[in-house]
Amino acid sequence: MDNNVSDSSLRLREMIEKAIEDHEITRDEYDKIIHIATEDGVIDRHERALLNELQQMIEDRMVKFVMK
């Protein structure tokens, strides 16, 4: 069942897409995203691309950090 996309990549995409839809992310959500990306000890290319996309959206203020 090797489809080149890890389970953690799928979970990352789900969380990042939620942040994009909401246009916001909490510190807890961000920390969970980082945890998912690093839990297997390897950040694969899919995970890296997702993290870069999220980081760029935060820098561009398309996704904002919020307190909850």
Q: Would the pLDDT of 1 be above 60?
A: no
64-66 and 24-26: which strand pairing? parallel
pTM: 0.82
Q: Would the pLDDT of 62 be above 50?
A: yes
Among the listed residues 35, 42, 45, 41, the one whose alpha carbon sits nearest the alpha carbon of residue 11: 35
Angle at 12 between CA 7 and CA 13, to 5 degrees: 100
Q: Which helix (H) or strand (E) holds 26?
A: strand 24-26
What tens digit of pLDDT does each residue of 5-31 get?
A: 778 889 999 999 999 999 999 999 999
Return the minimum-mean-pLDDT range out of 16-20, 30-34, 40-44.
40-44
% pLDDT > 70, the chain: 94
What residues have CB less than 8 Å from 31, skipping those under 6 apart? none
